[in-house]
Structure 1
Amino acid sequence: MKSNIRNDADAELPHAHLLQVIYLILFSTVWFLDSFIFSFSTFLASLIPLAIRVILALSVLALGFSMTSLGHWLLFNKKLPGLLTTGIFAHVRHPMYLGYILAYLGCIVGTMSLLSIIPWLLITHLYAKMANYEEQKLEQKFGEEYVEYTRKVPKWIPR
């Protein structure tokens, strides 16, 4: 039985999954403790009405989860040969990473935990490093086709 899963694991930054789990634990710990236990840096929450924070947080979370889901679906469930340049990949080169970054940001917006920005920046740096690594591998694999794709499609900010 043939699998729908793409075998591009060699294109991933070594230990990327482990690093993502470690950073998830770090972010979750800092965010939870600051947001719900100690409130070291959540003073902005008292200045912004809860309804506005909830609407903004849910909007950012929904955008993040949508980008991640669309990217994941195209990458792993569709049987598309070659370089993916359609769907969400026609608008941004790393929709799943951007989606994860936005999901974390949505948590920060919801509680206004400024301390959580520190692990969020570390996570953002990790995803940038992962994206750079993968782009080198994709350029090796697809050559000029990938270079042309990078000229047309932005890395992080969708068009």
Structure 2
Amino acid sequence: MSDPAATTPPFRLHPAAAWALVGAQFVFLLLLGFLPWGALWSRGVGTIVLGLALVALGVGIALAAGAGLGRTLTPSPIPKADGQLVTSGVFALVRHPIYSGLLVLGLGLVVIGASVLHLIAWVALLSVLMAKSRFEERMLADQYPDYAAYAARVGRLVPKVGRIRT
């Protein structure tokens, strides 16, 4: 009798669902940039500087991660068939540093925007990126035998937070 797990086909996210997640991510990022400002807190010079610093940090993290992926980079959560598992650079700190960078960027826009709508859009962005990362990880685990060990030692979006227990 054969092992049923050995015959289970690898998980594949439908391309339309993958691109819907990408689209939702960009919609929430655009909303964060263009929603009307609120008055949840004072938007003085210090607040604007903090917000811009977070935006710059988020962009820097995302760009470093994109450069680290090289030709493996794709906006879709579906990994490239000929890609490589990258575990060095910012990927040694978190498994999804592009998503981390987008969340830090978005947090900067929340600080500047100071509205409930900004907070809601950021939480929605977090939800989309969490879903996207979970689907992506299932496919990465199927594609790369070393992924489980990597996920056990490296956090999902924040260093040491969200490691997958094997």
Could you say whether these structures have the same fold, taking a TM-score greater than 0.5 normalized by the shorter chain as the test? Answer: yes
One-letter amino acid of the structure 2 residue matched with residue 153 of structure 1: V
Q: Tell whether the 8 Å contact from 1:53 to 1:111 is kept in structure 2 after alignment.
A: no
- List 4+ stretches of structure 1 deviating above 3 A: 24-28
Q: Name stretches of at least 5 consecutive residues in structure 1 with no aligned partner.
A: 1-9, 36-40
Contact 2:94 2:155 (C-alpha < 8 Å) held by counterparts: yes
Match of 2:62 among 68, 74, 81: 68
Alpha-carbon distance, 1:99 to partner = 0.6
Shift of 1:15: 2.4
Q: Tell me, what secondary structure is at the counterpart of 1:120? A: helix
Contact 1:13 1:134 survives alignment (8 Å) = no
Aligned residues: 138
Which residue pairs with 2:78 in the alignment?
none
Name the aligned partner's letter for residue 59 of structure 1: A
Name the CA shift for 1:84/1:113 in 2 (closer, same or farther; >3 Å). Answer: same
Residue of structure 1 equivalent to 2:29: 24
Report deviation, 1:19: 2.1
Aligned to 2:49: 55
Structure 2, unaligned runs of 5 or more: 1-14, 73-82, 161-166
1:154 is displaced (CA, Å) by 0.7
Cα distance between partner residues in 2 of 1:56 and 1:92: 23
For 2:63 and 2:91, locate their aligned partners in 1 and report how far apart those are by CA, in whole Å: 12
Secondary structure in 1 matching 2:18: coil
Deviation at 1:91, TM superposition (A): 0.5
Computed over aligned residues only, the root mean square deviation of the Cα atoms, in angstroms, reads: 2.6
Match of 1:87 in 2: 89
C-alpha change, 1:90 and 1:101, in structure 2 (3 Å) is same
In 2, are the aligned partners of 1:67 and 1:95 still within 8 Å (CA)?
yes
Q: 1:15 is aligned with what amino acid?
A: A
Matches within 5 A, 1:126-145: 126-143=128-145, 145=146
Structure that is richer in helix per residue: 1
